[in-house]
Amino acid sequence: MKFEFIANACGIFTSDEEIKILTDPWIINGAFDGSWCHSHPLKTTVENLQDVDAIYVSHIHPDHY
């Protein structure tokens, strides 16, 4: 099992079988009407996350869709 941290609660778990699970995606800046932004530039884009097998959302609010 491997984990790649993206930001906040967002990351990708990759199993030994190469199954990828994206957790709590927050990829764009400006959640909550622009008041929440990432503390550092992200090293990934939405396009780079197209090959995940599943998305896990642990809680709902405007930064997780």
- Looking at the domain assignment, is residue 48 inside a domain? yes
Domain count along the chain: 1
> What is the per-residue pLDDT for 32?
67
- Looking at the domain assignment, is residue 64 inside a domain? no
> What is the per-residue pLDDT for 56?
94
Strand order in the sheet with 20-23: 2-7, 10-14, 20-23, 54-56
Q: Which domain holds residue 7?
A: 2-56
User: What is the value of pTM for the model shown?
Assistant: 0.75
> What is the per-residue pLDDT for 28?
73
Separation between Cα atoms, residue 30 and residue 23, nearest integer Å:
19
- Looking at the domain assignment, is residue 33 inside a domain? yes
> What is the per-residue pLDDT for 44?
82
Question: What confidence tens digit (pLDDT) does each residue in 11-64 have?
Answer: 999 999 999 999 988 777 666 676 777 777 888 888 888 899 999 988 776 655
